[in-house]
């Protein structure tokens, strides 16, 4: 909520739960609400105080719950509304807030609205979605969907096409229709009245369409996302209306998500005076290694680019809005595999990345499992993959007669299933995640990397994380102090200061496998936190991090 004195969410530490993979309680192999309730002591022990719960609504699961068929119901595989209420109550009792995923750019094609909509051109629900005539025997335009081929699907029943920016089972909702907007607001009030503390808004940057539906001169997905799909003409009108009608009436937090929100337009969404959203997940960093054809067209990224992007974002937002900081989530590879070294320096680099998250300016969001340094997974068989994006990618590569081994390599570093394997709780069968067969295989490294082992080892990533969350909470300067990147041109070191009033801390991060000399002119005080026991005054060891006064 905007214009409010007590913005608690600026001090929060967020933790993302992907329910399917967190904890199964009944042996069906699918994580569920009861499983989360059973792990509540663990969650509380982390020192996090704001949970983002992935979608738990009724869904045919074409895109793991991001295709909702009933916004008012809990999917039976996750439990019941009674379980949900219990989870919310138990989190609140421990001072932990919870935000829901709000997926309203599209619904499932199995939502009653769409089932009605497709029946006839004069059906009262026709206008809930985008239906258009084809052009020259093909779809209305040349837009590509995120996950499979054309963004339009032909429906024989009425001889028209409907728009789907994601899979064919995720038709885009027509926000131009005021009745649709009112339905959505009503549903939001239902959850807020239950006491949820806000929403993470899925691809909110895409809800206003460019109704001319012009062909894009460039066929690549990323070009279309930035120039045709995102930041449409009425986006801010819609968000202001949503804020006025719903958000402003509750003490909640909203985090928008969506491709196409660059640093240049971010403040339009989250500027203090805008009355729209509180924060956004900036995806630019997540897309930095994408080539023109997207994520499976990977290009190398240098430390200089990484730092510049983060600094530019910080400066673009300044104190006119508020940033959110994250390095992985359910859509992108494990942070230690992507930005650290998940081999020899897994422990050191995971601690360094957690330190980064917890010392940057902005509300940090940690994805489940990264607090124990879980890594990407390398399934050797295509059959072990579950994500619709990955499956469609394999299909496309096969159809084009391209190299499937290369495709598998790409999936090993870029695919979304890397972060969707079950949480590794202990070294019993299936890592303590389930007594049955998990919906997706567990990462075979669970025997060494798991919560139980980490709990027993005082030097573990997990213990370090707990110390770091407490450290952030007790250091106001880390919450809202200014941020300055002190050596933007250094190829391996990321050194920045945080400063507020007469308090100042320095954060030193060695993003490399080699020793690095500490710049001599830096006048550092005590070491307040580090991932090494002994700290050399002259140099940083591989992946060493240090917070100094």
Q: If binding is defined by CB under 6 A, does position 260 make contact with ligand ISL?
A: no
Residues in 267-296 at the binding interface with ligand ISL, rule: CB under 6 A: 283, 295
Q: Which does 51 bind (CB under 5 to 8 A by kind): Ca ion, ligand ISL, none?
A: none
What stretches of 209-345 show up as alpha helix (H) in DSSP? 221-224, 235-245, 266-270, 284-287, 303-317, 335-338
* Gyration radius of the chain's alpha carbons: 23
Task: Return the half-sphere exposure (C-beta side, CA atoms, 13 A cut-off) of residue 60.
Answer: 13
- Residue 30 CB, shortest distance to Ca ion, in Å, is 4
- 77 three-class SS: coil
| Strand pairing category for 279-281 and 131-132 | unpaired
Residue from 129, 143, 146, 506 that binds ligand ISL (CB under 6 A)? 146
- Residue 386 CB, shortest distance to ligand ISL, in Å, is 13
- Residue 328 CB, shortest distance to Ca ion, in Å, is 24
Residue from 15, 18, 66, 367 that binds ligand ISL (CB under 6 A)? 66
For ligand ISL, the closer CB: 168 or 359? 168
Query: Could you say which of 49, 77, 257, 387 is catalytic?
Result: 257
Q: Which does 425 bind (CB under 5 to 8 A by kind): ligand ISL, Ca ion, none?
A: none
For Ca ion, the closer CB: 26 or 392? 26
Q: Which one-letter DSSP state was computed for residue 422?
A: P
Query: Could you say which of 58, 202, 328, 387 is catalytic?
Result: 202
For Ca ion, the closer CB: 145 or 368? 368
Alpha carbons 409 and 417: distance in angstroms, whole number:
13
> Could you identify the residue written with the tokens 């909470």?
473
**What six digits make up the tokens of 358?**
């917890």
Residue from 140, 259, 364, 542 that binds ligand ISL (CB under 6 A)? 259
For ligand ISL, the closer CB: 338 or 416? 416
Active site annotation includes 202:
yes
Chain residues that interact with Ca ion, rule: CB under 5 A: 24, 26, 28, 30, 32
- Residue 420 CB, shortest distance to Ca ion, in Å, is 15
- Residue 27 CB, shortest distance to Ca ion, in Å, is 7
The answer to whether 317 touches 270, Cβ cutoff 8 Å, is yes
Q: If binding is defined by CB under 6 A, does position 199 make contact with ligand ISL?
A: no
- Residue 165 CB, shortest distance to ligand ISL, in Å, is 8
The answer to whether 129 touches 193, Cβ cutoff 8 Å, is no
> Could you identify the residue written with the tokens 């497709």?
118
For ligand ISL, the closer CB: 334 or 416? 416
Residues in 92-111 at the binding interface with ligand ISL, rule: CB under 6 A: 103
**What six digits make up the tokens of 167?**
């899979």
- Which of 8, 13, 11, 71 has the alpha carbon at shortest distance from 47? 13
**What six digits make up the tokens of 381?**
């068989």
- Residue 362 to residues 122, 276, 338, 480: CA-CA distances in angstroms? 48, 18, 21, 8
- Which of 501, 494, 511, 495 has the alpha carbon at shortest distance from 475? 501
In this structure, how many other beta carbons lie within 10 angstroms of the beta carbon of residue 45?
Answer: 13
User: Residue 406, class by beta-carbon neighbours within 10 Å (0-12 exposed, 13-18 middle, 19+ buried)?
Assistant: exposed
Q: If binding is defined by CB under 6 A, does position 367 make contact with ligand ISL?
A: no
Instruction: Tell me, letter by letter, the H, E, C secondary structure of 321-340.
Output: CCCEECCCCCCCCCHHHHCC
Q: Which does 30 bind (CB under 5 to 8 A by kind): ligand ISL, Ca ion, none?
A: Ca ion
Q: Which does 26 bind (CB under 5 to 8 A by kind): Ca ion, ligand ISL, none?
A: Ca ion
Alpha carbons 186 and 229: distance in angstroms, whole number:
26
Residues in 314-333 at the binding interface with ligand ISL, rule: CB under 6 A: 330-331
For Ca ion, the closer CB: 28 or 115? 28
Bridge partner list, 57: 74
- Residue 494 CB, shortest distance to ligand ISL, in Å, is 25
Q: If binding is defined by CB under 6 A, does position 63 make contact with ligand ISL?
A: yes
For ligand ISL, the closer CB: 63 or 342? 63
Residues binding ligand ISL (CB under 6 A): 63, 66, 103, 146, 166, 202-203, 259, 283, 295, 330-331, 389, 416
The set of catalytic residues is 202, 257
């Amino acid at each position: 909520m905007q214009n409010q004195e007590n913005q608690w969410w600026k001090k929060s530490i967020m933790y993302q739960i992907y329910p399917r993979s967190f904890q199964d309680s009944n042996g069906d192999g699918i994580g569920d609400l009861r499983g989360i309730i059973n792990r509540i002591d663990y969650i509380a022990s982390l020192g996090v105080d704001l949970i983002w719960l992935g979608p738990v609504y009724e869904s045919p699961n074409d895109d793991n719950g991001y295709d909702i068929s009933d916004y008012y119901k809990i999917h039976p595989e996750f439990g019941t509304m009674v379980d949900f209420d219990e989870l919310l109550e138990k989190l609140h009792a421990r001072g932990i807030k919870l935000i829901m995923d709000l997926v309203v750019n599209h619904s499932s094609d199995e939502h009653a609205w769409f089932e009605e909509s497709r029946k006839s051109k004069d059906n009262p629900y026709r206008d809930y979605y985008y239906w258009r005539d084809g052009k020259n025997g093909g779809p209305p335009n040349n837009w590509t969907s995120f996950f499979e081929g054309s963004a339009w699907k032909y429906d024989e029943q009425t001889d028209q096409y409907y728009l789907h920016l994601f899979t064919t089972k995720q038709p885009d909702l027509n926000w131009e229709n005021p009745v649709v907007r009112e339905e959505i607001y009503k549903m939001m009030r239902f959850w807020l009245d239950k006491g949820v503390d806000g929403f993470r808004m899925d691809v909110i940057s895409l809800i206003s369409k460019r109704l001319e539906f012009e062909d894009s001169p460039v066929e690549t997905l990323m070009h279309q996302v930035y120039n045709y799909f995102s930041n449409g003409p009425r986006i801010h009108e819609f968000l202001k209306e949503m804020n006025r009608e719903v958000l402003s009436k509750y003490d909640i937090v909203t985090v928008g998500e969506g491709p196409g929100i660059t640093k240049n337009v971010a403040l339009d969404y989250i500027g203090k005076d805008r009355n729209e959203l509180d924060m956004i997940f900036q995806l630019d960093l997540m897309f930095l290694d994408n080539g023109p054809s997207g994520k499976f067209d990977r290009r190398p990224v240098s430390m200089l680019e990484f730092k510049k992007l983060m600094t530019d974002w910080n400066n673009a937002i300044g104190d006119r809005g508020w940033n959110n900081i994250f390095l992985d989530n359910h859509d992108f590879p494990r942070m230690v595999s992507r930005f650290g070294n998940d081999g020899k320096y897994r422990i050191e680099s995971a601690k360094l990345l957690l330190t980064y998250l917890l010392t940057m300016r902005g509300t940090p969001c940690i994805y489940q499992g990264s607090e124990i340094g879980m890594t990407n997974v390398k399934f050797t068989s295509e059959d072990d993959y579950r994500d619709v994006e990955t499956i469609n990618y394999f299909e496309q590569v096969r159809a084009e007669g391209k190299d499937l081994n290369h495709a598998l390599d790409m999936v090993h570093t870029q695919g979304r299933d890397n972060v969707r394997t079950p949480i590794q709780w202990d070294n019993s069968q299936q890592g303590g995640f389930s007594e049955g067969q998990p919906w997706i295989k567990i990462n075979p490294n669970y025997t060494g990397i798991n919560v139980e082992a980490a709990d027993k080892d005082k030097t573990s990533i997990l213990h370090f994380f707990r110390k770091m969350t407490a450290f952030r909470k007790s250091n106001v300067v880390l919450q809202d102090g200014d941020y300055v990147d002190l050596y933007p041109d250094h190829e391996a070191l990321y050194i920045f200061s945080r400063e507020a009033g007469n308090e100042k801390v320095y954060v030193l991060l060695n993003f490399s496998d080699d020793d690095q000399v500490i710049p001599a002119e830096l006048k550092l005080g005590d070491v307040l936190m580090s991932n090494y026991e002994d700290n050399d005054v002259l140099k940083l060891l591989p992946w060493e991090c240090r917070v100094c006064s």
